Structure 1
Amino acid sequence: MVNVQAAAKKKKEKAEKKKEDDAPAEEDALSEVEDLEPIEVHMVPDDQIKGLTEEQLSEEFTKALNANNPQAPMNQVLFDFALGQFVPMPPSDQIAVHFSMQETIIPTQTSEPAPDAPKPAEASPAAPAASEPERPAPGGSAPAEPAAIVDAPVEAPVQPPDSPNTQKAKALKNQFNFSERASQTFNNPARDRMVATEPPPTVNFSGLCSQFILFDAYLAIFREGKELKAQKDQQQASTRKQHSEEDGEDPASDMIIADADDRDEKAHKIMSSDAMKRAMKVMERIVNLNAEEDIFHDFKYFEDDNDKSREDGAGFFLPLWRFASPKAKRRTVTSIKWNPHYPDMFAVAFGSYDFMQQSGGGLICCYSLKNTSHPEFSFTTTSGIMCLAFHPQHPALLAVGLYDGSVCVYDVRLKNNMPIYQSLDPKVKHTDPVWEVHWQSSADDIGKEINFFSVSADGRVTDWIMSKNELVNEEIMELKLVSRKVTNDQTEIDDERTMVGLAGGTCFDFNPFSEHLFVVGTDEGSIHTCSKAYNSQYLTNFAGHHMAVYAVKWNPFHRGVFLSCSADWTVRLWESTTREPLLSFDLGSAVGDIAWAPYSSTAFAAVTADGKVFLFDLNVNKYEAVGQQRVIKKGKLTHVVFNSIDPILLCGDDRGGVMSLKLSPNLRRMSAKTIKEIKKDVEIAKLDAIMAIAAKKDAFP
């Protein structure tokens, strides 16, 4: 017994000595770890630019990182069978989980142990004896050391019991994985069942879909339906014949056949009804709106803020839609007019200015901005169309002038190819092409017959009255040739200076402030102001251009100012009381058409034969155009027209297309917020100021 105690004591001394030797080493190691500091090592990239300064190297660049998942689906929808439609789903979660593991360690400060932690040792009879100190052996010797010392685990130290009779410790609830059940239920055992199925057969399919293929498919279905209906009618006829040959007819069979016929007739009426046509029209417009959503957004909301920072005040044109029809391919746009009642609808006339090729006939297409892919309706004529015009009070009436000298009137509500009025008598109609038509828009003509005017290359201005059954013509004026040597009002025009014959009229326009006053342009380059009350002579003669005058337009704000353009490459501004032009602009090519802007008295647009469109604003720049752009390559622009409400203009070309352009803010400067709020006095004052400056001979080079 003594030997055992001595051995245990010696072993205990060795353990204590070893513990004392290891303590300084651990303290040194801890101090060394605490003294360690992170070492910064600057690695120079291989592709770094050499020769950079210290400031350039130390410059900080901010990189923004987001937590969005690029693989997450967007705009998810599900079909709701209760509602019968697709319902948008909420956005998916952007969190991408790369690794997940449930925790197994809880903080030591908590009073709730882990479920798999070792339980405290229970009190046993042997425990008190083990914890009491050894009694001294007989003879007064020191108590013997135990044979071995067992250290308690650090994670769950064993606490000594308070008394020998301590009860078993109660396990606490873990809030992480504890669940309380109100009742016990039977849990069905899980079973794995495997089923082997054959994958469905797959077939690679590819096809082409277009408007023409869809049309052919619908046409084939329509023909098949007609054939089936014909076969059914034939079978019904044979059945009736068999019944008639028999002695007694079956009335029930006749009723069944009659009911089938009624159903087919009712279905045909539904498909061809006005309600179905309107529904199909609305659906077509919605499909077109969805297909060209970006262009419609640009048309409604696009604004360029860079225009404000431009010092020269220049702007640009934003291309929107190109209106074209397969029927009008390779035809020339001869006229464009907006409908006065529907600001989204306009009519386009197609003909030819090549007088050696006039065998193709004419075409009228009425487009709408609500459906830019196809015209709303169209009309065809046997002769080329040179001009057209909508009636200002009756927007359904469309007057048309033809190449063969005849005029006609269409009612666009009928949507048929027959005009309601037409001049067919060769003794009455013009003998040369009709270049322009204008309706008489007088408020005093209420109750009178509707009439319009036309000008032709035969040198006559004619008034056409729509009587009850026919068009009645009345000659307003003959355009006599005048010597170009007349330069002032005091020079008398005698018989020697008046040449025999008539000048071919190419264009004319009525003064919006005076119903009887109109201005006429001729193919000789002369411009004349005339009156319906004095048809024997001109009021004023202007030796305006050196070549044919293509267009003359009165200013919509000022009653004494008009604009003209010609094949001599110039656009000129005139005042009705002076024979010399106030301003002249050389555009470098033949000018096909001009148009005053509805939002400013000093702004107008012009198109040229080299495919360019120009916009001038005399209040901003009196020398050059504030905006110009080439609209078509290797083609000619023939006509231009502004919209009365929206900031867009239309340009027609010689290839059968009409291009719509939106004006930037610098090209549509207005004196008010809207066109309806513009005051005419302000616009007249602006134009008078420009004219006062232009009247000075030394004001312009």
Structure 2
Amino acid sequence: MSSTPDSQYVYYKQRREFGQQFSFGEKEELLVSIPPDEEIARQYKPRDPVSRGTQFAKQMSCSEVNTERATYETHGINHTEGGWPKDICLSDPEQTTRYRRKIEKDELFISEVMNLTKPMEHCIFQNNAINIYETFFENCEPAPLLEPCSSRTLNVYRDPCNPKRPVTHLSWSPDGGTKLAVSHCDTTFQTDANDVACDSFIWEVENPNTPLLNLKPTSSIICLEYNPKDPATLVSGFLSGQVGAWDTRVDKSLVAISEREVCHQEAVNSVLWINSKTGTEFFSGSFDGRIIWWDTRKLNEPLEKLLIDPVKTDDQDISRSYGVTVLEYETTMPTKFMCGTDVGTVFVCNRKGKSPIEKINFRINTHLGPVCSIARNPSFLKNFLTVGDWTARIWSEDCRESSIIWTKHQSVLLTDGIWSPTKCSMFYISRMDGVLDAWDLLQQHNDPVLSIKVCDEPLLCMRAHESGRFIASGSKNGATFLIEVSDNMTTSLKNDKSLLTAMFERENKREKILEAKSREIKLKVKTAQVAHDESNGESKLNKANAIEAACKQAEEEFLANVQKAKEKLCPSRIKNKENGGKKAADGDESFLEGDLPESD
């Protein structure tokens, strides 16, 4: 087609010729020869870079076809009455009855009905075998959602006194945990007690602004514990070594206090109620190495005393006793208790014993420093948690040489540890950097499942609510934090207890095998040492005999040489003595001064 609009030529091609394959062939033929033009070549100027546009799209064609239109109709049939012929009126019962009889008299009707019964019978049997209306997985518990572990701080209870004092102990009231008893005491060495208040407080959980009750003792309270049977009665241990009883219904002051002559000589670190008939007995432990049992009705006279003496003897000495840092008591085991000491040893005791040897069953070396916390697992009473130095360890009473599970060494000191009351595999640990770690033994052992940065100052103590939902933690600056954890950290699943039982049994068995192997190695080393000592004794005896024989031989040789020298130097004198019949005994003959000539 030319570029001018008035001259054009249209090419026509039939539709059937579209898409045919081209046929190429070879032929030697010169169509045109154009020689180069030098004048045009001189006008050529090379350019760099050069941009050119080309058409690289696919060639397409458009064709139109007119087709004949088709007419469609839609008809419906009501299958509740089946298909009827056109000449039968459905509203006339006589016609329908007559037509049914006509069909039933047909010879093919019976055979067709018999042929249809087989597939229909198969479908009926299928419906009878499978209950299509059955509700599957009706008795199965729904799978728990993978909820991430989380927490939040609900309330903060701050020390109203100035200067602020550290929180030393926490205790929940037994009436559902509606109140929280907080004791404050500054145990720093050589602290001026005149400038520091001695008050401790009881807070309502829902009111963090003002305390419910202000306890005013004569000395600072280190530990304060609610009576599990009476929400109005408390006992406390003082910095002065005394113990006292409180009744919140009577007054803010003490109801009873022990005499200084019969109480501890140093600060009371722990007090715990014991399971007694009267519900008024408790016991206390102190740095002076004594455990004393008391009755709140008669605090001027202790019921019983026990020294934590590591030497197994009935003649206990207080100078050898270890200081008690923490006590542990389980109400389901009324006679057994445990105490942690300031040298890292845990003593497992039984109050039922008649003598001190029978009362102290055995001891376990748990930590390098003081034991900060001891807590029995509420579901597995043979296993208990201890916290001290930089680690937390889980022990079994059957394995006394090593713990069955322990955490890795932390970068800061640990201060306290508790089990969750509702979830058997969960325990919490407080640290000196203000972090509270939550560990779940069924999820992971290397790291905690949740680390909560509670505050910037050290966390010194904590206590879990009986519902397992709330954790109270006290800091060094006198603030008590109430922390709420998520639901998956408070409820145990169906298989948690069985899985934890299998884990404890497996680790317990492993530690027993290692203990037996260790004892075998120690016995071999001891036997080899005894044999080595015996062989050394024999060799020492032989060596002594050889030295004695060598000395005797040297002495004899020395005396013989002396005799020869005498005979050689003074032969005439020896001869005269022999003639005179006087012969001195061997070794007793001596020379007079000047008998032997002087040697050059």
User: Are 2:304 and 1:475 aligned?
Assistant: yes
Q: 1:601 to 1:506 in 2, by over 3 A?
A: same
Q: 1:435 to 1:373 in 2, by over 3 A?
A: same
Q: Corresponding residue for 1:453?
A: 283
Letter in structure 2 aligned against 1:506: T
Are the aligned partners of 2:415 and 2:459 in contact in 1 as well (CA < 8 Å)? Answer: yes
Q: Residues 600-639 of structure 1: matches in 2 within 5 Å?
A: 600-633=423-456, 635-639=457-461
Q: Corresponding residue for 1:17?
A: none
What's the CA shift string for 1:151-202, capped at 9, x where partnerless?
Answer: xxxxxxxxxxxxxxxxxxxxxxxxxxxxxxxxxxxxxxxxxxxxxxxxxxxx
Are the aligned partners of 1:613 and 1:628 in contact in 2 as well (CA < 8 Å)? Answer: yes
Shift of 1:694: 2.6
Once residues 217 and 318 of structure 2 are traced to their aligned partners in structure 1, the CA distance between those partners, rounded to angstroms, is: 37
Shift of 1:692: 2.7
Shift of 1:697: 6.0
Which of 162, 169, 172 is 1:338 aligned to? 172
Q: What RMSD, in angstroms, separates the aligned Cα atoms of the two structures?
A: 2.7
Once residues 318 and 156 of structure 2 are traced to their aligned partners in structure 1, the CA distance between those partners, rounded to angstroms, is: 47
Q: Corresponding residue for 1:542?
A: 364
Which of 253, 261, 268 is 1:418 aligned to? 253
Q: 1:431 to 1:494 in 2, by over 3 A?
A: closer
TM-score (norm 2): 0.57
Once residues 519 and 512 of structure 1 are traced to their aligned partners in structure 2, the CA distance between those partners, rounded to angstroms, is: 13
Letter in structure 2 aligned against 1:438: L
Q: Corresponding residue for 1:694?
A: 507
Once residues 653 and 606 of structure 1 are traced to their aligned partners in structure 2, the CA distance between those partners, rounded to angstroms, is: 13
Once residues 667 and 392 of structure 1 are traced to their aligned partners in structure 2, the CA distance between those partners, rounded to angstroms, is: 25
Once residues 577 and 395 of structure 1 are traced to their aligned partners in structure 2, the CA distance between those partners, rounded to angstroms, is: 36
Once residues 500 and 581 of structure 1 are traced to their aligned partners in structure 2, the CA distance between those partners, rounded to angstroms, is: 29
Q: Name stretches of at least 5 consecutive residues in structure 1 with no aligned partner.
A: 1-306, 483-492, 673-681
Shift of 1:471: 4.0
Q: Residues 280-429 of structure 1: matches in 2 within 5 Å?
A: 308=145, 315-327=149-161, 329-357=163-191, 359=193, 360-414=196-250, 416-423=251-258, 425-429=259-263
Q: 1:512 to 1:574 in 2, by over 3 A?
A: farther
User: Are 2:270 and 1:436 aligned?
Assistant: yes
Q: 1:507 to 1:326 in 2, by over 3 A?
A: same
Q: Residues 216-295 of structure 1: matches in 2 within 5 Å?
A: none
Count of matched residue positions in the alignment of Structure 1 and Structure 2: 363
Once residues 352 and 661 of structure 1 are traced to their aligned partners in structure 2, the CA distance between those partners, rounded to angstroms, is: 24
Q: Name stretches of at least 5 consecutive residues in structure 2 with no aligned partner.
A: 1-143, 515-600
What's the CA shift string for 1:59-92, capped at 9, x where partnerless?
Answer: xxxxxxxxxxxxxxxxxxxxxxxxxxxxxxxxxx
Which of 386, 390, 393 is 1:569 aligned to? 390
Shift of 1:642: 1.0
Which of 378, 399, 413 is 1:590 aligned to? 413
Are the aligned partners of 2:468 and 2:490 in contact in 1 as well (CA < 8 Å)? Answer: no
User: Are 2:342 and 1:508 aligned?
Assistant: no
Q: Corresponding residue for 2:346?
A: 527
Q: Residues 50-129 of structure 1: matches in 2 within 5 Å?
A: none
Q: 1:699 to 1:477 in 2, by over 3 A?
A: closer
Shift of 1:609: 0.9
Shift of 1:376: 0.6
Runs of 4+ in 1 over 4 A off after TM superposition: 307-310, 497-500, 697-700
Shift of 1:342: 3.7
**SS of residue in 1 equivalent to 2:430:** strand
What's the CA shift string for 1:627-682, capped at 9, x where partnerless?
Answer: 1121111x11001111112611111001110111111234234237xxxxxxxxx7
Shift of 1:370: 2.6
Are the aligned partners of 1:512 and 1:554 in contact in 2 as well (CA < 8 Å)? Answer: no
Are the aligned partners of 2:283 and 2:294 in contact in 1 as well (CA < 8 Å)? Answer: yes
Letter in structure 1 aligned against 2:504: M
Shift of 1:698: 13
Which structure has the bigger radius of gyration? Answer: 2
Q: 1:512 to 1:506 in 2, by over 3 A?
A: same
Q: Residues 619-698 of structure 1: matches in 2 within 5 Å?
A: 619-633=442-456, 635-645=457-467, 647-671=469-493, 685-695=498-508, 696=510
Q: Corresponding residue for 2:518?
A: none
Percent of aligned pairs with the same amino acid: 22
Once residues 275 and 490 of structure 2 are traced to their aligned partners in structure 1, the CA distance between those partners, rounded to angstroms, is: 28
Are the aligned partners of 1:401 and 1:408 in contact in 2 as well (CA < 8 Å)? Answer: yes
Q: 1:343 to 1:449 in 2, by over 3 A?
A: closer
Once residues 581 and 498 of structure 1 are traced to their aligned partners in structure 2, the CA distance between those partners, rounded to angstroms, is: 30
Once residues 313 and 220 of structure 2 are traced to their aligned partners in structure 1, the CA distance between those partners, rounded to angstroms, is: 39
Shift of 1:525: 0.6
Shift of 1:498: 10
**SS of residue in 2 equivalent to 1:395:** strand
